[in-house]
């Protein structure tokens, strides 16, 4: 078991990293503003679920493949970039969304499930996250305190918990903007266009990023 001071230091570093502006923050913010607090929460849960995959990959050493293989890294980031371009196109085509009655509940349930899957895919197809974990987590491990793989899973769990809290706060704050958007179809369309530009920018950034 890692000592308490190490865990506190790691949690503090994780908090600062989660607060730093980045693709995940922007994604949660835009979806919360457009579709409300519930949408932001589902995106957050999806992103954090994706982090489970990265944590396990690092603990098992799979992430080393993306650090050493140019082909594996390139293929995964192209898949991620292509998915972000798809999201950009979907957001660009979207108009003001208002549905009523029972149909609204069914639409929302489908939409929330889609947002959850979207968060997972966005996170899991970003090889930079695995490489970040590969570089970040080992700095806080120590073979003297047990199996390093177990320590990495513990640290990954702490990082996910911190990210979950930060992103949920962002979702709740951004939903205030969303209530105003729901009263203005024109503003909602503008926000969809902004989301489209954000997704496209993230796709370009991911596509040109290097190891």
The pLDDT of residue 32 is: 84
**Residue 116: its pLDDT value, please?**
93
Per-residue confidence (pLDDT) for residue 145, from 0 to 100: 86
Tens digits of residue pLDDT in 56-101: 888 887 666 666 778 877 876 787 788 778 878 877 876 554 433 3
Q: How large is the average pLDDT for residues 19-23?
A: 70
pLDDT digits over 108-145, tens only? 555 888 899 989 988 888 776 777 777 677 778 888 88
- Position 188 scores a pLDDT of 63
How long, in residues, is the chain?
211
pLDDT band at 7 (very low <50, low <70, confident <90, very high): very high
Report yes or no: 155 and 39 within 8 Å, Cβ to Cβ: no
* 3-class SS string, the chain: CCCHHHHHHHHHHHHHHHHCCCHHHHHHHHHHHHHCHHHHHHHHHHHHHHHHHHHHHHHHCCHHHHHHCHHHHHHHHHHHHHHHHHHHHHHHHCCCCCCCHHHHHHHHHHHHHHHHHHHHHHHHCCHHHHHHHHHHHHHHCCHHHCCHHHHHHHHHHHHHHHHHHHHHHHHHHHHHHHHHHHCCHHHHHHHHHHHHHHHHHHHHHHHHCCC
Summarize the confidence of residues 146-151 as an average pLDDT: 83
Q: Are 154 and 141 in contact (CB under 8 A)?
A: no
Percent of the chain residues past pLDDT 70, beyond the cut: 77
């Amino acid at each position: 078991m890692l000592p308490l001071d190490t865990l506190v230091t790691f949690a503090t570093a994780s908090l600062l990293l989660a607060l730093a502006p980045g693709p995940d923050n922007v994604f949660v913010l835009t979806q919360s503003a457009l579709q409300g607090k519930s949408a932001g929460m589902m995106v957050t849960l999806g992103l954090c679920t994706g982090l489970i995959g990265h944590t396990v990959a690092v603990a098992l050493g799979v992430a080393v493949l993306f650090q050493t293989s140019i082909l594996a890294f390139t293929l995964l980031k192209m898949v991620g970039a292509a998915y972000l371009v798809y999201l950009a196109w979907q957001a660009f085509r979207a108009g003001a969304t208002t549905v009523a009655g029972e149909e609204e509940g069914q639409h929302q349930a489908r939409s929330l499930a889609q947002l959850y899957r979207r968060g997972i895919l966005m996170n899991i197809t970003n090889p930079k996250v695995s490489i970040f974990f590969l570089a970040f987590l080992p700095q806080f491990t120590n073979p003297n305190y047990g199996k390093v793989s177990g320590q990495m899973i513990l640290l990954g769990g702490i990082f996910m918990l911190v990210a979950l809290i930060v992103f949920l706060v962002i979702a709740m704050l951004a939903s205030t903007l969303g209530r105003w958007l729901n009263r203005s179809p024109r503003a909602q369309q503008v926000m969809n266009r902004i989301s489209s530009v954000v997704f496209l920018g993230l796709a370009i950034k991911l596509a040109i990023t290097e190891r």
